Amino acid sequence: MTEEKAKGNADLPEKGTTVLMLGNPNVGKSALFNRMTGANAIVSNYPGTTVDFTSGTFIEGGHTYTIIDVPGTYSLEPRDAAEEVAVRMLRDSPDATVMIVLDATKTDRGLYVALEVMERGMPCIVAVNMMDAAHEKKITVDIAELQRILGVPVVSTTATSGEGVRDLAEMLRKAKVADIGAIAQRLRGEEQERESVRGCGGCGGC
Amino acid sequence: MEQNESKEQNEQKITLIGIYVALLGLVTLAFGIADILVWAGIRPGIQVGILAIAGDDFFRWAWGGFIMICAGLFMLAGSTRVATLQQSAKVVLGGVLVWLIAGTDIFARLCVAIPADVASPAFFNSLSGFLAAFAPPYTPAVLLFPFTLGILYLIWIHDTDDS
Amino acid sequence: MVFSSDARWEMVDAITRQTVTYGTYKHTLGDVLGDLTVKPLTGIPVAFAALYAFWSVFTSFAGTLMTDGFMVKFFDGFWLPWMQSVWPDPASWHYFLFVGNPAADTCFEAFGMLTSGLFVSIGVVLPAVLVFYLMMTLLEDSGYLPRLAVLMDSVLHRIGLHGYAIVPIILGLGCNVPAVTATRILETKKQRFIMMTLLALFIPCGAQLGIMMSVLPDLVGIVMLCLIVGFCIFGFVLNKVIPGENPEILVDVPRYHWPVKEYVAKKLWNRTKGFLKEAVPFVLFGILVVNLLYLGGVIQGLANLLEPVFVTWFGVPKETVGPLIAAFLRKDLAIAQLSTIPMTTYQMVASVVLVTIYFPCVATFVVMLREGWKELIAAIVVLFVVVFIYGGIIHGIGILLGVA
């Protein structure tokens, strides 16, 4: 219950890029956070232990990232105290990069909040987590296609084993603001190639 | 072809393992009822061979007895067409309940066995005293425990046919 | 560009249609077992069994093995005589504060800060809290806890809460401090207020349970029954009285899986550390303050003042007034103190129930304050009313049964 906690945004470190880790409850955010920072965060099956948010730092490619584990939320229209905290944190750090964590077995629910974040015009990167569970349930997620549609980097991860976490860290610097209009167009089949992302979209694993 | 055969086997109403599960369920149910009856004071306490039902406290005998009854009922409910997934799950759940009670009974004995007697000045029990604490008689759940291990077979068949 | 929520869901649908494919998924034994533990007919017995195992391991480890097996022997046999022989001047005030009664044979009777204080916090409460949090963490990480939440949902809805309220309730049986923090998983102010008030009133913490088990093992059942009944009655009343919403539960039930060793260890360590840091200093400090108040005659004065209320309304002997007042600082010690006063069974049960419900300990008080002072004041008012009414009810039932 007593994770290292910061009381309000006054305590957030100023150096480097801030990364907000956002997603539904129980998508393995805390586990992913632990993998990336090795910090003293708690993984749990019920929402609530992450109300006091956890933050940590890691260095990738000579760049220091401050990463914050935002309480799990289903949408940006808050329903409870934890979700309120999530929304407030997004509002209070407009310059932050948002790492949206999806559960590969329940992508739809996570995508909803992902679209909400994208509408706010914040630079995003998407991590499709729990790939192992999806594999067990015979669910496949076309990462390359998802990346093409969303126009932001998409990485598949399995936080419990650490797969894809390295890629995720490397891709953070390629995070970009999604063009929500373009997403809608792509969904209607009206192609509008975005070379920079497309160039990487082919392999899917990166 | 092989698929069909195993399907047929699954649908068979009464199988050998089904009879085993049903018997196990009946015994478990009987033990559970006995636990509660002894606790309620119908009989002062039963000891038959290495089996003992003391019935001395509410928690272990009334509450525990209720759980044994449920475990017995789960096994009986799952004993027909036992190889199907749904039915196996009931049996496994019943087995898990018995294991929980047996496990906590054994753990309770272990906790009594480690420290020395209240009157003695030493902290740890002697080896012979430690072993003596595990001597019979045993509670019904502990006695049932070895006989419930057959349920592992049910878990095993469902684990392997998955892949 | 901002979309409506319907438009957003349409986009989500379109995206998943293009990117996600579902294979034919065969149910596994784990899935079916998962379903069975949520359905009431099979789920309720399983919940009973889980609580049985929880309680059995708790009493075996904390009670039989650690406290009775080793700690009592160490503290009564070595620590207390040593303190009594080493500390100078048994008649002085500092002897009274730190060592307590020079004639005491056990640490329960001594009441010094370094005798009873250390014994209670390290000998009784620490093993209880440790094994409690271990079991709690295992339940949580195996995925059983969310299922219990679903199962308890309909019951808890009656008292203005929902299934997830089971988390602060179970945590509260360990220590009310993390439990108050955990009330944040409830959505509305109303729910949080009800939960906090009920926690402070009717949920005995691990410290209290530990002490209850060692000083009056035969009465724990009756005391718990009184508390559970009170919990339901007053939850129901509070739900009717307090305005506000009680929204439906939104649960995510994860699959059953084996807990990961490192996470369990980490969580266990964090929680135990939190307890050591936040609660133990209060035990020691609380005894110090109570002893000071005794020395200054404050408790005696209050006891004389409140005596008529306690004796006529609650039907407990006047010696209990002191411990009841001291209970504000440390409820567990108050129970230990009560056990040394000669009383009838009814008086014992009534006074232990009163101590448990009547005020949160200082540590709980502080965390409740952190959640909002207005709620705290409202909770205190409710507390006084409830203690008065419920104490009266128990006394009334006692009179009807002819035991009071």
CATH number for the domain that contains residue A46: 3.40.50.300
Residue C72 belongs to a domain: yes
Q: In the block, which residue shows the tokens 């090795």?
A: A38
* Substitution target from C6, C15, C191 for chain A, most A beta carbons within 10 A: C15
Give the model's pLDDT for residue A47. 38
Give the whole-angstrom CA distance, residue C189 versus residue C368.
13
Instruction: Provide mean pLDDT across the span A82-86.
Output: 77
Contact between C61 and B111 using a beta-carbon 8 Å cutoff? yes
Q: What's residue B30's pLDDT?
A: 92
Of all residues in chain C, the one with the smallest CA distance to B161 is C28
Q: Does C385 touch chain B (CB under 8 A)?
A: no
CA gyration radius, chain B: 19
CB nearest C69 (choices: B70, B105, B114): B114
The total of structural domains in chain C comes to 1
Residues of B in contact with C221 (CB under 8 A): 58-59
Q: Which of residues 202-261 of C touch B (CB under 8 A)?
A: 221
CA distances from A117 to A25, A56, B115, C1 (A): 16, 22, 59, 11
Round to whole Å and give the CA distance between B59 and B55: 9
Question: Is residue A170 predicted with pLDDT exceeding 50?
Answer: yes
Task: Give pLDDT, residue B72.
Answer: 94
Nearest-neighbour CA in chain C from A140: distance (Å): 5
Q: Is residue B122 part of a domain?
A: no
Greatest Cα pair distance, chain C, in angstroms, is: 84
Question: Which comes out higher in pLDDT, residue C246 or A137?
Answer: A137
The dihedral built from the CA positions of residue C277, C279, C280 and C281, taken in this order, carries a sign that is positive
> Chain B residue closest to C51 (CA)?
B63
CB contact under 8 A, C56 and B67: no
Which range, A3-17, B63-77, C321-335, C390-404, is most confident? B63-77
B67: Cβ–Cβ under 8 A, 6 or more apart, which residues?
Answer: B32, B97, B100, B101, C45, C48, C49, C52
Reduced to 3 states, what is the DSSP secondary structure of residue C119?
Answer: helix
| Inter-chain residue contact A81 with C247, CB threshold 8 Å | no
Q: How many residues does chain B have?
A: 163
> In chain A, which among 146-205 make CB contacts under 8 A with chain C?
146, 149-150, 160, 180-181, 183-184, 187
In C72-188, where does DSSP find H-type helix?
Answer: 72-74, 80-86, 93-98, 107-110, 118, 126-142, 144-158, 166-172, 176-182
Q: Rounded to whole angstroms, how far apart are CA atoms C375 and C367?
A: 12
What distance separates the 2 farthest-apart alpha carbons in chain A? 50
B-chain residue closest to C77, CA distance:
B121
Domain count within chain A: 1
State the total domains in chain B. 1
pLDDT in tens, A128-139: 988 888 887 788
C27 chain-B contacts, CB cut-off 8 A: 85
Task: Summarize the confidence of residues C108-127 as an average pLDDT.
Answer: 79
Q: How far apart are CA A85 and CA C24, in angstroms?
A: 39
**Domain presence at residue A204:** no
Say what the pLDDT of residue A109 is.
86
Residue C164 near residue C186 (C-beta atoms within 8 A): yes
| Greatest distance between any 2 Cα atoms in chain B | 72
Locate C376 and state its tokens.
């705290």
Q: Which of A42, A51, A181 sits opposite C184 (nearest CB)?
A: A51
The mean of the pLDDT values for chain A is: 75
C262 in any annotated domain? yes
Neighbours, chain C (3 or more CB pairs < 8 A)? A, B
In a domain, A95, yes or no: yes
Asked if residue B130 belongs to a domain, the reply is no
A175: left (phi over 0), alpha (psi -120 to 50) or beta: beta
DSSP string, chain A: -------SGGGS--SSEEEEEEE-TTSSHHHHHHHHH--S----SSTTTTSS-EEEEEEETTEEEEEEEPPP-S-SS--SHHHHHHHHHHHH-TT-EEEEEEEGGGHHHHHHHHHHHHHTT-EEEEEEE-HHHHHHTTEEE-HHHHHHHH-S-EEE-BTTTTBTHHHHHHHGGG-EE--HHHHHHHHTT-----HHHHHHHTTS--
* Dihedral in degrees, nearest 10, Cα atoms C212, C213, C219, C223: 50
Residues from chain A that touch C177, judged by Cβ atoms under 8 A, are: 1
The set of residues, in sequence order, having a beta carbon less than 8 Å from that of C86 and lying 6+ positions away, is none
Q: In the structure, what pLDDT confidence band is assigned to residue A199 with cuts at 50, 70 and 90?
A: very low
* Residue C129 predicted with pLDDT over 60: yes
State both tokens at A73: 């939320």
Q: Is residue C4 part of a domain?
A: no
The alpha-carbon gap from B46 to the nearest alpha carbon of chain C, in Å, equals 22
Residue C34's pLDDT is 82
Determine the average pLDDT of the residues in A148-173. Answer: 85
- Euclidean distance between CA atoms A100 and A125, whole angstroms: 6
**B112 min Cα distance to partner chain C (Å):** 6
Closest to A168 measured CA to CA, from A32, A50, A44: A32
Quote the percentage of chain A above a pLDDT of 70: 76
Return the closest-CA partner of residue C124 out of C208, C53, C220, C216: C208
The verdict on a CB contact (< 8 Å) between B89 and C69 is: no
Residue with tokens 């167009």: A185
Residue A11 pLDDT more than 60? Answer: no
In a domain, A3, yes or no: no
pLDDT tens per residue across all 163 residues of chain B:
344 445 555 566 678 888 999 999 999 999 999 888 887 776 677 777 788 887 777 778 888 899 999 999 999 998 888 888 888 899 999 999 999 999 999 999 998 888 887 777 778 888 888 888 888 888 889 999 998 888 888 888 877 654 4
Containing structural domain, residue C151: 36-401
Would you call A181 and C1 a contact, using CB atoms and an 8 Å cutoff? Answer: yes
Cα(C21)–Cα(A142) distance, rounded to whole angstroms?
Answer: 8
- The pair of structure tokens assigned to B90 is 């009931």
Range of the domain at B46: 2-101+138-160
Cα Rg, chain C, nearest whole Å: 24
A81 to chain C, any CB pair closer than 8 A? The answer is: yes
pLDDT digits (tens, 9 = 90+) for C131-171: 888 888 888 888 888 788 888 887 788 787 877 788 788 87
Is B33 inside any structural domain? Answer: yes
Is the pLDDT reported for residue C73 higher than 50? yes
Question: What residues in A contact C22, CB-CB < 8 Å?
Answer: 138-139
CB contact under 8 A, A142 and C181: no
- Whether residue C180 contacts residue C171, with contact meaning beta carbons closer than 8 Å, is answered with no
Look-up of token digits 């995925």: C143
Q: In chain A, what residues touch C13 (CB-CB under 8 Å)? A: 108
Average pLDDT, chain C: 80
pLDDT of B102 reads 93
Collect all residues with Cβ–Cβ distance below 8 Å to C68 and sequence separation of at least 6.
B115, B118, C214
Q: How many angstroms away from the CA of C28 is the closest CA of chain A?
A: 10
What is the arithmetic mean of pLDDT over C304-310? 81
The pLDDT, as a whole number, for residue C404 is 65
Lowest mean pLDDT among A124-128, C112-116, C218-222: C218-222
Whether the CB of B156 is below 8 Å from some CB of chain C: the reply is no
* Burial track A23-46 (b if 16+ CB lie within 10 A, e otherwise): bbbbbbbbbbbbbbbebebbbbbb
Determine the length of chain A.
Answer: 206
* Whole-number pLDDT of residue A52: 64
Higher pLDDT, C113 or A124: A124
